[in-house]
Copies of this chain bind each other. A is one copy, B any other.
Amino acid sequence: MTSRRSERRPGEFELISRYFSPLAKTRGALRLLDDVALFRVPARRELVVTADAIVEGVHFLRDDPPASIAQKALRVNLSDLAAKGARPAGYLVCLALPADRSARWLGEFAGGLARDQRRFAISLLGGDTSKTPGPLTIAIAALGTVQRGKLISRGGARAGDLVFVSGAIGDAGAGLEMLKSRGSGKGPLVRRYRLPTPRLSLGMKLVGIASAAIDVSDGLIADLGHVARVSGVHIAVAAAQVPLSHAFRKQFGTGERAVLRAATSGDDYEIAFTCPRSKAAKLASIARSSGIAVTEIGSVMKGSGVTLRGADGRALRLARAGYTHF
């Protein structure tokens, strides 16, 4: 990887055969030798498909490691599948590549995809590469399957349900802020910003348990707002119950301002979901067996919108509901 030749920017076909063809692990990918991929949906399941792009300077920073950029592009899509209870199968990637990326950079980028393919048991299915005079842009379409009729939608929350969230909230937003203010950084908060963890195993176990779910990308309050709107309900979140990581608490404390910061920053990629009270015991056992913290943070009521409530039960004033990438 250090010879002059390997640092030369490869052409499109060389790039595909060297870096991407080895990622086409499934027969339907047709070894990336065709313009399309084939995919057969197993019996009693249906196809779930999602597509999200990430743009340099908007969703990631230029100096982020190439492997983590690739993994983030993939994982934000896998996170969408996770929140719907789907099992991922494969993905297509459209890569708009600035001229200044070296062969080494590309090798690390493909290496990140390779690691995540193994971790999440998925295969590259196709896509294309193109030059761009602008920022690196990676659009991924991810395919998965779910039991027929069992997709966990945003629209199933009902008054009386409880509200839960996986993992901890706020780390990624804090990590981004750190990177922006200092120009660089490391540590657990930055790692959480660069490399979200899609909650796939938990999501699949929530099928038949959760009444509605969403992955937290815009911010906990903003995303629960989508659930509230589509379900036609009000969601009340207790600020004191929002789970904060050790690293986050160490930096910002546990007061209401810290919770406000956590609940209105984005990029957490945890699953926020609602669940009927009748299924709470089953959920507790799922959470124990999945090894991922699942925290009850509020309840669903008649009405509309989302409130974040302080210790006295009053709604806290929100300057913004979340972070927008638009």
A residues neighboring B (CB under 8 Å): 11-12, 15, 30, 33-41, 46-55, 57-59, 80-81, 83-84, 86, 92-96, 125-135, 137, 139, 141, 143, 146, 148, 151, 153-155, 214-215, 226, 230, 324-326
Contacts and interface: CB of A to CB of B under 8 A. Distances in A.
Contact of A143 (B49, B59, B83): B49
15 contacts: A33-B226, A34-B155, A35-B50, A35-B83, A38-B46, A38-B146, A41-B41, A49-B126, A51-B93, A53-B95, A53-B130, A55-B132, A57-B133, A129-B326, A137-B137
Contacts of A127: 51-52
A146 B49 CA distance: 18
Contact of A50 (B37, B153, B154, B215): B37
Interface centre among A126, A133, A139 (most CB of B within 10 A): A139
A154 B148 CA distance: 33
Contact of A49 (B39, B48, B59, B137): B39
B50 A80 contact: no
A95 B55 CA distance: 11
A326 B53 contact: no
Given A52-B128, A130-B326, A153 B37 contact: no
B137 A36 contact: no
Contacts of A230: 33-34
A95 B51 CA distance: 10
Contact of A84 (B35, B57, B84): B35
A49 B146 CA distance: 18
B34 A38 contact: no
Contacts of A58: 130-133
Contacts of A141: 49, 51, 92, 141
Given A39-B49, A48-B36, A134 B137 contact: yes
Contacts of A129: 326
A58 B125 CA distance: 24
Contacts of A326: 11-12, 15, 129-131
Contacts of A84: 34-36
A180 to B, nearest CB: 15
Nearest to A132: B55
A283 B59 CA distance: 50
Interface centre among A49, A94, A137, A325 (most CB of B within 10 A): A49
